Structure 1
Amino acid sequence: MVRRLAASLVHRGRSGEGAYADELVSLHSARHAVIAIEEARQPLRDCDGVYTMVGNGEVLNYREMATRLPSERRRRLPPGDLQVALELFAARGADGFEPLRGPFALAVWDGDELTLVRDRLGERPLYYYETPDLFVFASEVRCLESALRGRLALDEASVLSFVGLGRMTGDRTLYKEIKSVAPGEVLQIKGDRVRRRQLAPVPDLYDASRSPGDEAGVRRLIEQANHRMLVADCPVAVGFSGGVDSTVVLKAALEGADVAAAITLFSERGPGIDENLRRARAVAKVMGVDLIEVPFTIPSLDDTVALLDETLDMPAAEPLVLHNNALHTVARDYARVLLGGHGADEVFGGYDRYTALKDDANHAATSEWMSASPWERWRRTAGWKAFVAEWAGEAFASQAAFAYADSDHADFAHTDLSRADLTPTGSSSSDLTHTGSNHAGFAYADFKTTDALDRPFPYEFAENSDPVLFGQALDLFRLMTYDNFRATDENGIARGVEVRSPFFDLDLIAGVYALPVHRRIVPHTKKHLLQRTLHGTPMQDMFAARKVGFDDAFSYSDWMSENWPEFSSTITTGPLAELSVVRASLLQRLSELDWRLLWRLFSLTAWLKRRERF
């Protein structure tokens, strides 16, 4: 089993492998190294030789955190960012994880107890399988698939959630037996006891004394986030679209790092029709940067399926992975780290839907404004109950698997299970097998209700007082996580680059979200707090015009139509048709469905076919 786990993990790190074993555990790590590249080989040992750690990702504020270590540990501190995290844990226990910033998933073994932790945003994945005498964890579900052949059963309720919502809720995966560690969760396993705790919530991270709630304070937080983003002992590349987000990122990188490449994608149908390419060229010229221009066209059906199989752990809810794959494939020839502007719109309120919600003086109920939104993900979430009623297969109807609970939020289903009884979502480039512990395992209650909003999440308290903040937080902490975090991480690492954005910095998020809505979002100037960082530069007046959407030059609807016989038969003759997850009438009416739902059915079918090969 351990050999299969190790072999399945290789694609997540090509800088080196490491292993540790004793009579109770076997640890393995595949490392994608960007900090202390030669020195910080895993597994890591603390300076007293008591604790062993494997991990994925980075602690980007590790230099600051090293100054907080006890003097005897600081004096003997080996190189590396995760080494600082390990020494903090050795000195303070799980409290040592509280001040860490960055994308990470870590596992620490002390000879008696296993501790798992995941960053608060869930940028790095971490999954586990547990029975009374076996505990296994890994960075990806397919690693566990490889190790646990014959022990896993498809979770049909999660399959339906993916079709209708584009994600799984809570700690669920597409397998009943595999769960995920929640963002910001610490999971500690010792004998037959499993203890859980959450790191301090994101709203509590805002410190008004250090970053006053004004524009100057936000600017300092942006500078700090940019500084952290650049922490690497290797060159970086920048994904550059010519918008304000990636311009801020490229400007910071040019000022503080070794930039190996600035890369932009454009429509292969011709540079002349791609407005974003024209803008990217204009901004790059002002900045004195030579762009690497990458033509992109939507791959063939066969190539799309191969891409999904090779690089993704679970099905993709959005075709954005196809663009990202093209970008990541080029970036790996220049750098191990790729910087981008992901998350800026959610943090700084850049989307029209936020402005519209702010301008609505008489806010409707949450379900109503989400249903009326032009954004499909909000409508999809608000329409979950209706989707289930119309399209859930007979198996769910007969089992009353989706009976909706009454609640104050009547149009959304709420789980009647205590979150303490569940095991949430996760990330790590390491795995562990734990045997002989005889612990009882988690009680998995029947999936009788589903909360389409997947509460609780940071800032949900603002639902009535500041619906715009509620919507921004819902997007950032829930609706982005499945594809924007998970799929971007998986495809990037599979192609050999780690993807980072300064706009996922927790202190920046907490500082901006602490501002009242009229200071976060102002009329006629999108992301004004971010644009102000370019004042006094030649780029300050280059973003008045509305930016074209990244994929506006690519029509997935047309792509599906052009390939319709093969595309549709892939779905109707595939494994999904043999399950009782959706009604047969859904598959019979494919030509009537929205292209986004069609994509989810296609991507899910590709995943189910891959599963059959295991």
Structure 2
Amino acid sequence: MCGFVGFIDENDQTYDHRAVIVTMADAIAHRGPDSEGYFEDGRAALGFRRLAIIDLAGANQPLCNENRSLVLVSNGEIYNYRELRRQLIAAGHAFSTQGDAEVVLHGFERWGAGVLDRLRGMFAFALYDTATGELFCARDAFGIKPLYYAAEGDRILFGSEIKGLLAHPHARRSLNERRLAHWLCMEYLPDEETLFEGVRKLPAGHWLRWRNGRAERDRWFVPRFAPDAGRSLKESAEAIEAALRESVAAHAIADVDVGCFLSAGVDSSLVAREAARIMEARTFTIGWGEGRFSELEAAATFARATGLPNEGRILDAEQFFASVPAVQYAMDEPLPNPSAVPLYHLCAMAAESVKVVLSGEGADELFGGYPYYQECLAFAPYMMVPAPARRALAAAARHQPEGTHGRRFLIRGAHPLPERYIRLEYNFPWAEALDLLAPELGARCAAAPTPWELAAPLFAEIEADEITAMQTADILTWMQQDILLKADKMSMASSLELRVPFLDREVFALASTLPASHRVGRRETKIALRAAAARTLPQATAAMPKQGFVTPLAQWLREDPWREQVHEVLNSERARRFFRTDRLNALLDEHQRGPRSHMKKIWSAYCFLIWHEQYFG
């Protein structure tokens, strides 16, 4: 686990390329405090910061091939590197390290872009051809590791974090204002753009080739489900158990200590239990003084029952609010998911003892863990009603008071899945987001496509039942832009490598064959995964309902000094530049009165303003 930065700028020699690449690498030093390395040839410059995990003394980067025609910088881990290494040595390639990244370098020599289909792991990398000046970049299938770039004219900047790009003297530091309404709705941008004008993210499962100011991009992996209706639930559970056991073993390969995150849920418990079979697996849990929100007791109970060492800590409101600026800076783009804050502290705690942790991200998307997937089963018979009749019932339902039984169902039921997909208006409805923004800014954002127009091409590519379509959309958007980005940035802020055994190509190959009935039912989610868990975990853990990383934030926003602190930020001069502060105050006041919660909306505006201060203040 490391970080890299780089640029190609052969026609501008007015600045010191070496000094600039060092400054860019320094901006991401937290990703790799163990060593640093650089390459520059007057046209290109590559910088690398290393967190040493495998071949501690030898596998430093940048790496060159035998004739120094290719230079590699990479981030992540290749879990099948030993097998690939043997194949490449047999084919005549000479290795200079014992590390995993070198198989990417020689594999590209051997197979070109075809090496991507052979890599089992999490990765982002950049390969520079010293003879042609060509740059080839790629990102892993699920987007576990990030990769950003900014191309303008005959110059391209690239790297693991946006803050590394911004350290270049020709980088633009400009807010992408026209996308702010999209961000308010979804808490991320679901496409290649970022909230920095001109900075783009390479999507998961894509590669980018750049030469002489021209960029070519293509997709090398598409997550597709192909359910096998002939498999029994027992067979599914047995196959999941075997696949996860093998994946955890692969993900545990390291020359340093490896630990596990442990919540009260089934996903992290399964990973920790499998890890305990092969190593002394220390586990780490964060919780709250407010007991009804905390997972500390349940996690400790599970750890005792299974003989796992567990370290737990309590996070209080003062620590939570004090760390928000650091969290938003670490994220590069603003993220209002409150769980980012406890994850930041959990990673810091684990990093005191280990350099690698295993975590349970990805299980919900692959195995059907979110309760809103069950909505598809409820809507299925209603979708048989003709669309004009559903629209008429929705129009009538809108005249009923909010909270009326059946109102939300009838309104949402008027729309096909691409329009009612819950992530499109996860924080704010589109109209409310536009109305919240300062009038001129709101008008600019209103000219952009609606969230449904953004989602239409995505769903048009997915040929599947509604449950599977929603899972696929989550894998391509929510999981990549929220869950995995948060995991990468929060762990790397503490120089900690976070590995996700569920997001393994072999585990996905199995998950993609599960019938929808083994994923989601009317009373249960992750049906087959829970059946697998019941074979090895306590029943209470295997049956634990999905609850996410719950925080007491909604409660704290009703209490001083936290309410007053948020109120001050929401009424600042900065806030008036972007928002109608009367709308923000109305949300805060209604939240204060209760019982209705506007926590997500309030926190979105607050996090954006804190983030903006970090990068533009």
- Deviations, residues 191-216 of structure 1 (Å, cap 9, x unaligned): 133221111322289999xxx99554
Letter in 2 for 1:461: I
Q: 1:254 aligns with which of 259, 262, 276?
A: 276
Letter in 2 for 1:232: A
2 CA distance for matches of 1:165 and 1:4?
Answer: 33
Write out per-residue CA displacement over residues 295-322 of structure 1, whole angstroms, 9 at most, x where no aligned residue. Answer: 1223357613343255332212211111
Give the equivalent residue in structure 1 for 2:322.
303
Q: Which of 71, 96, 121 in structure 2 is aligned with 1:102? A: 121
Give the drift of 1:129: 1.7
Change (3 A) 1:85 1:301: closer
Contact 2:190 2:477 in 1 (8 A): no
Deviations 1:500-553 (A, max 9, x none): 22111233224213322113235655433223434554x35333654473544x
Structure 1 residues 489 and 586 mapped into 2: Cα distance closer, same or farther (>3 Å)?
same
1:472 is matched with 471
Q: Distance in 1 between matches of 2:354 and 2:456?
A: 36
Is 1:610 the counterpart of 2:614 in the alignment? yes
Residue segments in structure 1 that go unaligned for 5+ positions in a row? 406-411, 415-450
Distance in 2, Cα, partners of 1:117 & 1:74: 22
Report what 1:600 is aligned to. 604
Partner of 2:376: 357
Distance 1:135 1:350 in 2: 40
Q: Structure 1: how far apart are the matches of 2:136 and 2:30?
A: 24
1:181 aligns with 2:202: yes
2:163 to 142, 156, 169: 142
Amino acid in the other structure paired with 2:264: G
Q: How does 1:127-526 map to 2 (within 5 A)?
A: 127-148=148-169, 151-203=172-224, 214-259=236-281, 261-269=282-290, 276-299=295-318, 303-308=322-327, 311-362=330-381, 364=383, 368=412, 378=423, 380-381=425-426, 384-396=429-441, 398-399=443-444, 401-402=446-447, 404=449, 413-414=452-453, 451=454, 453=455, 455-456=457-458, 461-462=462-463, 465-522=464-521, 524=523, 526=525
* Residue pair 1:29, 1:42 contacting (<8 A) in 2 also: yes
Alignment correspondent of 2:70: 51
Q: C-alpha deviations, 1:250-275, integer Å up to 9, x for none? A: 1111112342x2112232245xx567
C-alpha deviations, 1:24-50, integer Å up to 9, x for none?
111100012212222211011224432
Q: 1:359 to 1:245 in 2, by over 3 A?
A: same
AA matched with 2:370? Y
The answer for unaligned runs of 5 or more in structure 2 is 1-19, 388-408, 592-597
2:111 equivalent to 1:92: yes
CA spacing shift, 1:207–1:521, aligned 2, 3 Å: closer
Deviation at 1:369, TM superposition (A): 5.4
Q: How many angstroms apart in 2 are the aligned matches of 1:178 and 1:336?
A: 30
Are the aligned partners of 2:377 and 2:522 in contact in 1 as well (CA < 8 Å)? no
Whether contact under 8 Å (1:47, 1:87) holds in the other structure is: no
> In the aligned structure 1, how far is the partner of 2:239 from the partner of 2:181?
44
What do residues 231-285 of structure 1 show as CA deviations (whole Å, max 9, x unaligned)? 22211111111322122111111112342x2112232245xx5673333233222
Structure 2 Cα separation of the partners of residues 275 and 397 of structure 1 = 39
**Superposition deviation, residue 144 in structure 1:** 1.8
Output the CA distance in 2 between the equivalents of 1:301 and 1:218.
37
Q: In the alignment, which residue of structure 1 is the partner of 2:52?
A: 33
State the distance in 1 between where 2:136 and 2:276 align. Answer: 39
| Structure-2 separation of matches of 1:148 and 1:127 | 17
> Does the 8 A contact of 1:125 with 1:140 survive in 2?
yes
- CA spacing shift, 1:205–1:6, aligned 2, 3 Å: farther
TM-score, with length taken from structure 2: 0.82
The structure-2 alpha-carbon separation of the partners of 1:511 and 1:275, relative to structure 1 and needing over 3 Å to count, comes to same
Secondary structure (helix, strand or coil) at the match of 1:81 reads coil
User: What is residue 42 of structure 2 aligned with on the other side?
Assistant: 23
Q: Which residue of 2 aligns with 1:408?
A: none
> Which residue does 1:577 correspond to in 2?
576
Question: In 2 relative to 1, CA 193–338 (structure 1 residues): closer, same or farther, beyond 3 Å?
Answer: same
In 2, Cα distance between equivalents of 1:54 and 1:244: 36
- The separation in 2 between residues aligned to 1:302 and 1:583, in whole angstroms, is 24
- Classify the secondary structure of the residue corresponding to 2:82: helix
Name the amino acid aligned to 1:7: D
What is the identity, as a one-letter code, of the residue corresponding to 2:64? R
TM-score by length of 1: 0.82
Q: Within 2, Cα distance between the matches of 1:379 and 1:204?
A: 22
Does the CA-based 8 Å contact 1:105-1:124 persist in structure 2?
yes
Change (3 A) 1:144 1:574: farther
Give the total of aligned pairs.
556
